[in-house]
Each structure stands twice: as C-alpha cells, then as structure tokens.
Structure 1
C-alpha cells in the first residue's frame, strides 16, 4: 500500500491539552507521587511533529528545558522556526528516530509521547516504553497516548475500506486522501440504501456512516495518518498496562479523570458493575467496554513507587482548581433558578449541596484562573472545607467538572489598557487554519473577530488603536461577515472589540 510520509503531509495537530506538565504533576500528587517542580522541569517529547505542543509548553514555562524528537525533516524544521520566531531559549528539536535515542539525552521529569505508540511497529513500541523507563526521573511521569479497543473495532471497517481503496493507487498524497474519502462515501451510501430496502440488511451501515461523519470535518493530515497509515495498532487498555509493566513502568492514571471514574448510574446497576472488577485496572478496562472507548492518554511512573488509591481529599492541598463547566442560564434547557446546575464535560450536575455550590460559585467568579485549594477553603468555610467540601470537589474532578494543576498559569480575567495575548497563540493565529492554544494549554475554536485580533495583541496597542485596526485593516480584508460588520464605524468597532477581548480573557488567552 502507498505510504504517505509526514514530510508529504505534515501532521499539523495543535497543543495536547492533557499533556501539560502542570496537569501531569497534579494528578501524580493526587495519587501520592512527589512530582518534580514544573517551572524548572526537563521535558522530552517523542513525536513532536511541527512543535505545536512543545513550543506552547516552552513558551509558558521559560525556566524549563525542552527537547522534541521527530524523524520528519520538514516537521522538525518548522518546529525550530517557530521556536526561533518566539525567541524560546531552552527548547530544541532533534531530527532522529526513536530507535537511535539513548541515555545521552539525560533524564527528564516529564516525557510526552502523543500519537506515537499505536502508529509504529512493535520494536519501536517496545523501545518507546523502555526509553520512558530509562530516561524518566525517579518521581517523573510519562504521558503516552494510543488508540484502544473496544471502540476501534467499530472504527476499523472504515479504515480498512480506505486502505483497500488506495492499495494500488499511484498518486500524490492529497489525491490518495481525496480518493479514499470519495470511495468511502459511495460505499457508505450504498450500504445505507441496502439497509433501508432490506429488512435485516447490513446494520453496520450506521456504524460506517457514523465514522464517515466523524472524519468529514477532519483535515487531510488526520485522515492520511490515522486511516491510511500502514501501521495503526489499537490495544486494550489492560494490555497496554501489561506492556508498560514489562518495561518497568506502572500505570498512574489517565490524563482525563473521566476515564477513571464510574459514571452516575442507577444504584442497583452501580453495585452490580462495581462487583465485577478486581482492582482499578480491571475496573477501567470494563469502563472502556461500557463507553466503547477509542483513545486513551495514560500516565506512567516508575515501578516500585507506592501510590495512594483511592486518592484522599486532603491530597488537594497544594493543588489549584480550575472550573471547567458553566452554569445553565435562563433560556437553556434544564434551567431551574431554584436548583442551579453546572454543565461540564462529564454531564450536568444539579448543585443541591450548599457547600459545593458555594465553592463552585467562587471558582466560577475567578475564571479563567486556577484557585489554590487553601484559598478556596479560606473563602468558603475554613472549618469544614476539608471534611465536607473537599470530598465533593474531588468527586467533581473525577467526573470532569474541575481541572487540577500545580504552579498554574495566570491568565487575566479582564483585558488591560494595552491587551497582550499569549505569544504562542499570537503566532498560531497569524497562520491560517490553526487553533490557537491558551495560556492554560486548552485549545478553543476561536470566533472570527477574536482570531483576527490575536496576532496584534502584543501589548503595544491601546483599545482605540485596536478599534481603528478593525475599521481600517481587518474588516476590509475579512471574508467573515461578523468581522466586516464590526468595521462599519469606529463606534461599532469599539463595541465589537470589547466583546472580542472579553471572550479571549474568559478563555485564558490574555496575560498581564
């Protein structure tokens, strides 16, 4: 089958939110691991691609030493250029294969391997985990992402169809991707038509259609390297943990706590499910079957370290909490002024408990900042916080409503007189087709006007100058109606500017 190199179609990607050492360290400390300081950490990334993740980390941690490893010359050169553009002093990108890496690099506090494990042959997977053990500092953490079963059993038919469609095609990479997409669409339409006409027809047509919808909005680099790569090897979570153990590493937890937690279930079902699992590894594997999980981001540490399971509420001491959800407001479904509800990545939480409600409201008022647990305790009820409120916040964390960090970033909640955005976000916004990363390492789909403004928010322009910029430059050149409408007049531009800057502040893009 044709092989599409990363030089032919670079993997654009963006920052990997869950891989930031601030988050890895917090999860480690939650489970009793005395993780290294983040601000001065040594950080290694395997498969650093065009450097969007590591350069963003380095830009936010100027005291850290960062090394990226990748074997695609075009990607490495791009990453180096971005680092130079940003003036990053202690980040470098090495052009080399994982099999060539040895102890000469030294040890690292945090190792990141995103998009590598499932996409390389078995000897490279073995070497990757061996290097994680050999190069990891005693209390360090390795982040390894991979495709996983059982969810990928449902995704594989479409991949195999696209591989089959291009197996004998001698064409440029972009035409290979276009041909694979076109043939997949025809086959899926045919299968859906057959299912509609024949009782008991191919029910899996709906599975194919769902996967086709999933990739429809994905860029060509995703399709090329996820569905047309010769190697894409999903694994069961439990098998990955076993592979890591054979390399001298133990499973610490998942970078997304939702993947570790039992969801809210009817009491009887919850008891039945809990009785099935013998230990946390088996429970998480069973949860993957429940959810049909397709992807994981596992955290590893050295074997022999005694971890604390389950984590205790007082482990929140020394950590900072960032609220991830929003209150459901008037006009939204399920709004109830008598019973506030929080919509967060894990679902909707009815805040019946007054202690938890007070804490969540305090965190909401401080967004986008992360609040030290001790500050939160002093603000809500220092006498009862650790006994009554901390356990509820810990549960909210495992259900997706909170993010925990150490040494958190400090985005501002209101734009200053000369607004300044995160340097990496400014650089990304100046390049068409990117999704800029915030100071918090989160990635958002930025609306058109804030996106157009980002490259100019370097702290040298006041609000009047930015409004004139909208009227004189951004609006006339814009293809988006909202940006053009903002530039109708100076007064209109000032109003639109205020809204755009507030959006950027709320989502963590602005700094002091």
Structure 2
C-alpha cells in the first residue's frame, strides 16, 4: 500500500533558514546553491514541491519502496524537473554507497522511530559521511513521554493485525476493534492512561491508510531525546533546537512554573528531557548542525534585517491573536501583531521595513519572536533569498491539481516566492487547474468553469457556493498570484 501524500512544511529550506536565523545561527546560503537529501521520501511529494520551488537546489529523494520512487520519478519527469533525482535504496545500501558530493540539508520525517535499530545506525552513518560542514540535519521522530503510554496499545494492535485477514486497512481495523473491546470491558490500562482512550476515539475519524502505515510497524518505538541528541553528537552534530518555532520560545511553550526549574539545566540533553516532561512531548522535530556556526550580534542583526516576509492565505489583517499551544491558549499582543499583520496584508516586507513601522520601532526585540509565532501559526512565511522559477512551479502545479481532482489527494501546490508549498483544498485545486490554463477568467465565468471541472471528475455532489469562490477570488487568489502559485 503506497504511503499517503503528506507535506511537512518544516522541511522547506526557507523555513529552516528562518528558524536558524532567529536562533542566531548561520544557515546554508540558499542563493549560492545548495544540496538537499530527503530520506524516506514516500511518494516524493515533499521533494517534488521543494525542487520546483528551489531551482538553485539539487535534490535527492530516497525511499526503499519501488512504487514510491516510480511515482515521484514520473511526476518529476512530467514536470520537467531536472534538479531532482529519485533513488530506490535501503538505508544500509545508501550508507555504504560512494558519492561525489555531500548535502547541506539532510531531512527525514516519520522514519527514525519507525525503523529498526540497525536502520537507525545506517542513517547515522549516512549523515556522518554525507552532511557537509555547516550542514543541517532535520530529524522528526516520536518521543517520550508523550507517546510512552501508547507503546502497549500499539504492540497489541500490531500483534492482532499479524493474524487478521485482509489488507492493511482491514488488519488495522481488527487491531483497533480489539483495543476498543478491551477498553469497553474496563481494562485498567485505559483507566490509567486516558490519553490512549482519546487517541483511540480519534482513530474513527482518521485516515486509515495513514494510520496503517503509522501503527502496523514492527519497529514502532518512541525515542528519548537525550539518546537521540547523544547519538548525533557522536557524529559531530550539534543540537540547535526545534524546527517548530514555538518550541524555541520557552515562555510560550512551557508551563510558567517550569521555567525557573529549567534555568540551571545547561546540558542540552538534560534540558531537552526536562522540556519533554514539561510539555508531555509526543513528537520532536530536532535540528542539528555539523559544526555549530553561531552568528555574532552584528551578523545576527544583519541577517534578521535582510529577511523578507509575506502573509499567507487566511492570515488575519489585524487585531490580537490567540495561539493554541500545548500549554493552552496564548494571547498575542495586538500592539505587536496588528502592525505586523497590517503591513504584510499590504504586501511582502523586509524585517527592516517592518521595524520602521512606528508601533514596532519601540519594541525591536519582539519582532523576531512575533514573526516566528506567525510562521508557526501559518499566517506568514519568509520569502526565498534565491532565484525563483514560477514556470517550473506552475508546470508541477498543473499536474498536482489534475491528479488531486482524479483522487490522488495531493493537497498542496508549489509557491515559488516562498521556496515552499502551501496547503490547498479541493475547490482551490479546481480553481488552480482552471487558472493555470485560463488566468484571465474571473467572476461568474470562473465559477461556471470550476463547477464544470468538478462535474467532469464527479466531484460536484457538494456544489460550491458562489460565495466560496468569491471569497477565494477576493482573499486567496491575490496572494497566490503574488507568490507565483498561478500566473
């Protein structure tokens, strides 16, 4: 069964550079060209979108599944992407392979805590051999203590599935039914671990194909962050922080009474373990660098000032914000966020331009954390500091829109000005498919053409209201055009 198409926004080079810059670290220079490797790429959607949106980068996407690689390779060929190669290989094969070049970015998400210890060791050997000096490793994995309680449930689910009939969905359902039967019988495990019961209840509404890949895995295992940090340190990799911007701002991501207790914990592994306990962390997105490259105060200031930011579709135009964090709702100060949002609503702005706003000039130290919060919340994104290729992105976007309407559920389009992807719903996919062929359409003619396209693919059962498309034209389409998603 092919892995579902998933896009992880934290994997884009522009996102990673923005996070590292906020942390006061020197990131690989995208403008000068860079190399990027995704391990466990699935069907390749992440790498396809990033390769189209980053013409200065050279991309390698690796997966063991031949069907995954064929899917990614065929789309890359159809889109004319010459800066992306797909490779079918095991981690052990890849670790021993001779290559002429290393990588400035090595990323893997949803892999490291789903594979055997031998495979994790092979991944580390590859990183040790192939991560360039100053290069960045992104490592996403399940962690203790947030996933600790689920270990027993996953083990029973996996064991039941081994003896069940049918395909992955049917075997997953058999395992879930067995767990629910135990829960309903009053099993003490569920009374002691109510979060497991909540996760089980959410499984009814989840994508079963995705859950089958996640849970029907012999080597499924949360990891201790201290052990991961120690293993990467043994390779010469320095722990930097999280690719999730919020988690680099302790005051907004940790319970207030825990902050004082963390002040005396200087060892990174110990400090991160304490943070995991404070947050009940279930998933981590760790960043490491081969040879820490800190910026001095002046170079850090210059790097921040040079960064440029854009509003994303759906971003509020002003007002106070409420951020839904792991420690509960966090109120964003209207005096800080309103001027940022108002400026970005008028068009992309550099950090320096934002600081010239009277309301922000008085609080310069708050602007970088505010932008990181807006990045995390999906309201803003850094612009690419490198050449862009709208034609390549739009060629890929045509294929993705067509495939999505045919049932592929890609759910994302490439945004060249961001060097990243943006999430898109089914109506927006249909509109993108129309506008990529007929950019002049608008109003009633656009609505009727989109509706005809949905009917062609038998997707018009829930006929979109005109107001939906009008809202898309007013609010989303101008940003799409600004970012190069469509012409």
Q: TM-score range by the shorter chain?
A: 0.7 to 0.9
In structure 2, how many angstroms separate the alpha carbons of the residues matched to 1:103 and 1:121? 23
- The answer to whether structure 1 residue 426 and structure 2 residue 426 are counterparts is no
Is the 1:424–1:437 contact (alpha carbons within 8 Å) kept by the matching residues of 2? no
The equivalent of 1:16 in structure 2 is 8
In structure 1, how many angstroms separate the alpha carbons of the residues matched to 2:117 and 2:468? 53
The equivalent of 2:412 in structure 1 is 436
- 5 Å matches for 1:103-118? 103-118=98-113
CA 150–205 in structure 1, closer or farther in 2 if over 3 Å, else same: closer
The equivalent of 2:18 in structure 1 is 26
* 1:39 positional shift: 7.0
Q: C-alpha offsets along residues 238-262 of structure 1, whole Å, 9 cap, x if unaligned?
A: 2211110012211122111212222
- The answer to whether structure 1 residue 316 and structure 2 residue 304 are counterparts is yes
In structure 2, how many angstroms separate the alpha carbons of the residues matched to 1:174 and 1:97? 25
1:392 pairs with one of 366, 391, 395: 366
SS in 1 for 2:191: coil
The equivalent of 1:138 in structure 2 is 133
In structure 1, how many angstroms separate the alpha carbons of the residues matched to 2:82 and 2:162? 45
The equivalent of 2:282 in structure 1 is 294
Moved more, 51-60 or 319-328: 319-328
CA 266–222 in structure 1, closer or farther in 2 if over 3 Å, else same: closer
- The answer to whether structure 1 residue 342 and structure 2 residue 321 are counterparts is yes
* 1:79 positional shift: 0.8
Bigger radius of gyration among the two: 1
In structure 2, how many angstroms separate the alpha carbons of the residues matched to 1:438 and 1:391? 32
- 5 Å matches for 1:221-300? 221-264=209-252, 269=257, 272-300=260-288
- The answer to whether structure 1 residue 46 and structure 2 residue 39 are counterparts is yes
CA 326–65 in structure 1, closer or farther in 2 if over 3 Å, else same: closer
CA 19–301 in structure 1, closer or farther in 2 if over 3 Å, else same: same
SS in 2 for 1:288: helix
- 5 Å matches for 1:91-490? 91-101=84-94, 102-169=97-164, 171-191=166-186, 203-204=191-192, 206-264=194-252, 269=257, 272-303=260-291, 305-306=293-294, 315-322=303-310, 326-327=315-316, 340-344=319-323, 346=325, 347-351=329-333, 353=335, 357-366=338-347, 369=348, 371-378=349-356, 380-381=357-358, 385=361, 388-397=362-371, 399=373, 400=376, 405=382, 407=384, 422-423=397-398, 425-432=400-407, 433-439=409-415, 440=418, 441-444=420-423, 446=425, 448-463=426-441, 465-475=445-455, 478-480=458-460, 482-483=462-463, 486=465
Q: CA RMSD in A?
A: 3.5
* 1:38 positional shift: 5.1
CA 302–271 in structure 1, closer or farther in 2 if over 3 Å, else same: closer
* 1:475 positional shift: 4.7
TM-score by length of 2: 0.82
Q: C-alpha offsets along residues 468-505 of structure 1, whole Å, 9 cap, x if unaligned?
A: 3235443576545542x54xxxxx5xx65432334543
In structure 1, how many angstroms separate the alpha carbons of the residues matched to 2:254 and 2:47? 42
- The answer to whether structure 1 residue 500 and structure 2 residue 478 are counterparts is no
Q: C-alpha offsets along residues 330-358 of structure 1, whole Å, 9 cap, x if unaligned?
A: xxxxxxxxxx41134544434254x6542
State the aligned residue count.
462
Moved more, 248-257 or 356-365: 356-365
Q: C-alpha offsets along residues 380-438 of structure 1, whole Å, 9 cap, x if unaligned?
A: 149x83xx433112232455457663626999xxxxxxx99944652553342332245
In structure 1, how many angstroms separate the alpha carbons of the residues matched to 2:63 and 2:396? 29
The structure that is helix-richer by fraction is 2
In structure 2, how many angstroms separate the alpha carbons of the residues matched to 1:123 and 1:299? 22
In structure 2, how many angstroms separate the alpha carbons of the residues matched to 1:327 and 1:173? 41
TM-score by length of 1: 0.79
* 1:362 positional shift: 1.4
- Unpaired stretches in structure 2, ≥5 consecutive residues: 389-393
Q: C-alpha offsets along residues 31-57 of structure 1, whole Å, 9 cap, x if unaligned?
A: 221422257321111111100100010
In structure 2, how many angstroms separate the alpha carbons of the residues matched to 1:268 and 1:99? 44
SS in 2 for 1:140: strand
The equivalent of 1:70 in structure 2 is 63
CA 301–114 in structure 1, closer or farther in 2 if over 3 Å, else same: same
In structure 2, how many angstroms separate the alpha carbons of the residues matched to 1:397 and 1:420? 31
RCO higher in structure (CA 8 A, sep ≥6) = 2
